[in-house]
Structure 1
Amino acid sequence: MDAVAGLLDAPRAREAFLLRCSMAAPWAVEVRDRAPLTLLAVVRGSAAVTAGGERHRLDAGGVAVLRGPAPYVVADADGAGRPADPCGAARTPVQAVIHPGQRCTAPDGGPQSAMGEVGVRAWGNAPDRTARDVLLVGTYAQARAVSEDLLAALPAVVLVPGEDWCCPYLPLLAEEAALEAPGQQAVLDRLLDLVLVAVLRRWLEEGSAARRAGQGWWSGADAVVAGALRLLHEQPERGWTLPALAAAVGVSRATLARRFTAAVGEPPMAHLARWRLAVAADLLDETDAPLDAVARRVGYGSGSALSAAFTRERGTSPSEHRLRRRAGLGSGPAAASALDGVASSTGWRV
């Protein structure tokens, strides 16, 4: 698996929050839910996304991937005759604010009545049949440890304009979002993953400014670094040393250390240590494997050695990590409390 394949393979929706937004202009929503990753797609009409001080227009078929936890504003793309925002573009005043747990309030923190549920997993200020702007919002409430590490390499906003591509999965996701059927959440999770992977792949293929400049380890611009990353990511269980890794990619230790650090931002062995702990965290989340088995999978000689490194770097023991993550993502009263309004709600809650 190369670096880009690792990037695309990482996202895994698990009871993701998915909503179809039906809007009649003027409209504007500020999202402060602190979600690690959000996909926003325009099904019909247009929208403007403002994040990190920059405003981006999306027309039908366009998709934005927003890396959290920073807030963003999504609004009608016109804003004609309304005050200018800090970017100098006319904008609609925010009418609703989304908080963690998908709780919705007015901008002053009080109740809001401008928007509400308008159907199955549908929310907005107009029914779908009369809405000018229809969007899909897919929120990954909790990222896998590996995806956190990989997606950190992306910019705050990834944009794929609708005129640049045609995603076959997007219409299917929009259709399925309006249905209630057995196993529907699993279907929506997998379709959301497909759309996200398709967006990231298209963005990489198109050649962003960073990719053209050869920036970012995921760009693959440095074949030596890409080869070293592939070995470390595919075989974290091996007892890698800098000399062994350098020999495997055919360069000297000094050359590998210099080029790897320049591209990745940390030395090879430091990256391997972080990668091993990220993989271990995901194995703890997704399997019932004993700690000793997890340790062997990621290159530690024993469960106690892994536990010591895990606790030192992440501030919690492997057993505590497993319990906390499963309380938030599993079943039962604890999960219901932790995911209040995220997985089960059909809309943003007032």
Structure 2
Amino acid sequence: MDALAGLLDGVRARGAFVLRLSLDPPWSMRIQDDALTLICQTAGSSVVITDSGDEFPLTAGDIALASGACHYLFTCAAGVAPQLVIHPGQRCTTLAGEDMRFALTVGVRTWGNSATGTDRAVIGAYEGRSEVSARLLRSLPPVLVVQAGESAPLTELLITEAGCERTGQEVYLDRLLDLMLIDTLRTWFDGDGVAPPWWRAGEDAIIGAALRLIHHNPRHPWTVANLANAVGTSRAVLARRFTDLVGEPPIAFLTGWRLALAADLLRSSDRTIAAVADQVGYGTPFALSTAFKRAYGMSPAAYRTGQAAGQVAGAAPA
């Protein structure tokens, strides 16, 4: 499992929130749900304005990805005061708190102030998070935009399917949304996006192979020496090249990956701490606990309890 696969393993759509918007100006809504959100502009125009004042105009065919790192306005134009607020769980209210979930329904999974709105978009939101996904999400800006023509032609399919009620529709939409997320991230990273170092490093013949070994076999007792041997280079070359391309030494990267996997297992399963330690490559629960506390500031047991109480994932450094 590489970091992109890990992102979807952490936030993979399951009963995803997918909604078609159909709006006539003036319209504006404040988004404060903290969700990873795809905004696919299908007609007309809009603008995403973050709380820091950055503006991202969208025209038909553009796709914006909001990483959930900040709140923002989604509006027809700058200067239009918000009329609605989107809360966690995709709950929609007026500024006064009046529930608007059903008041603006204009069709199957279609919502807005006009069934034939001049500004139209499809929204897909992921509510879940994980530590594996957090490692990738922390490398993203609050909002990124992939312009029309740069991405695979998945939007039209999503538009059509979102307006249908058919057998298996929920799973179909989930997988479409996942494909759009993968395609958007690939397109942005491979274009002008500021990719994290390990993204580019994956293309290197030696370091890419080393990263794949780490991602797919975290339980193996890796050392710099046996990792170098596995990819056919010297220990010195691997250590230097890995650090130059990835931004941290091989064992530091391995440790971060193991601990992210451990955090997700603690959050999503009832495995014992000993079983988690064994699965991610720590010989004893004590060894895992020591490393985990150093990275997360709490023991694995405390982390599991905190997650159960609703603590947000993503506490460890990138």
TM-score, with structure 2 as normaliser: 0.79
C-alpha separation in 2, matches of 1:322 and 1:271: 23
Provide the identity percentage. Answer: 47
C-alpha separation in 1, matches of 2:264 and 2:185: 22
C-alpha separation in 2, matches of 1:43 and 1:199: 15
C-alpha separation in 1, matches of 2:63 and 2:146: 5
Question: What residue is the counterpart of 1:102 in the other structure?
Answer: 90
Match for 2:260 among 274, 278, 283? 278
Question: What residue is the counterpart of 1:342 in the other structure?
Answer: none
Change (3 A) 1:21 1:120: same
C-alpha separation in 1, matches of 2:53 and 2:204: 32
Match for 1:133 among 103, 108, 119? 119
1:188 aligns with 2:173: yes
SS at structure 2 position matched to 1:29 = strand
| Aligned residue identity for 1:216 | P
Kindly indicate whether the alpha-carbon contact (under 8 Å) linking 2:38 and 2:181 is maintained by their aligned counterparts in 1: yes
Change (3 A) 1:138 1:297: same
Question: What residue is the counterpart of 2:163 in the other structure?
Answer: 178
Change (3 A) 1:171 1:317: farther
C-alpha separation in 1, matches of 2:98 and 2:26: 19
Q: Structure 2: which 5+ residue stretches go unaligned? A: 311-318
Question: What residue is the counterpart of 1:143 in the other structure?
Answer: 129
| Aligned residue identity for 1:45 | G
SS at structure 2 position matched to 1:153 = coil
| Aligned residue identity for 1:244 | N
Question: What residue is the counterpart of 2:277 in the other structure?
Answer: 295
SS at structure 2 position matched to 1:21 = strand
| Aligned residue identity for 1:186 | V
SS at structure 1 position matched to 2:194 = helix
Question: What residue is the counterpart of 1:219 in the other structure?
Answer: 200
C-alpha separation in 2, matches of 1:278 and 1:63: 29
C-alpha separation in 1, matches of 2:160 and 2:309: 31
**Offset, 1:123:** 2.4
Q: Structure 1: which 5+ residue stretches go unaligned? A: 80-89, 329-350
Question: What residue is the counterpart of 1:241 in the other structure?
Answer: 223
| Aligned residue identity for 2:249 | P
Name the Cα RMSD after superposition: 3.4
Kindly indicate whether the alpha-carbon contact (under 8 Å) linking 2:146 and 2:188 is maintained by their aligned counterparts in 1: yes
C-alpha separation in 1, matches of 2:134 and 2:112: 31
C-alpha separation in 2, matches of 1:208 and 1:7: 21
Change (3 A) 1:139 1:9: same
Question: What residue is the counterpart of 2:141 in the other structure?
Answer: 155
**Offset, 1:219:** 2.0
**Offset, 1:248:** 4.2
**Offset, 1:31:** 0.6
Change (3 A) 1:17 1:324: farther
Question: What residue is the counterpart of 1:122 in the other structure?
Answer: 110
**Offset, 1:285:** 4.9
Kindly indicate whether the alpha-carbon contact (under 8 Å) linking 2:17 and 2:124 is maintained by their aligned counterparts in 1: yes
C-alpha separation in 1, matches of 2:193 and 2:169: 38
| Aligned residue identity for 2:250 | P
Q: CA offsets, 1:42-85, max 9 Å, x none?
A: 12322222235332222222211111231122112xx4xxxxxx
Kindly indicate whether the alpha-carbon contact (under 8 Å) linking 1:228 and 1:249 is maintained by their aligned counterparts in 2: yes
**Offset, 1:326:** 7.3
Kindly indicate whether the alpha-carbon contact (under 8 Å) linking 2:11 and 2:128 is maintained by their aligned counterparts in 1: no
Question: What residue is the counterpart of 2:16 in the other structure?
Answer: 16
Kindly indicate whether the alpha-carbon contact (under 8 Å) linking 1:30 and 1:98 is maintained by their aligned counterparts in 2: yes
**Offset, 1:286:** 5.1
**Offset, 1:175:** 2.9
C-alpha separation in 2, matches of 1:229 and 1:162: 32
Kindly indicate whether the alpha-carbon contact (under 8 Å) linking 2:8 and 2:178 is maintained by their aligned counterparts in 1: no
| Aligned residue identity for 1:21 | L
Kindly indicate whether the alpha-carbon contact (under 8 Å) linking 2:34 and 2:88 is maintained by their aligned counterparts in 1: yes
C-alpha separation in 1, matches of 2:239 and 2:72: 38
SS at structure 2 position matched to 1:164 = coil
| Aligned residue identity for 2:184 | V
Stretch moving more, 114-123 or 226-235: 114-123
1:46 aligns with 2:30: no
C-alpha separation in 2, matches of 1:142 and 1:2: 19
**Offset, 1:316:** 5.6
Stretch moving more, 62-71 or 52-61: 52-61
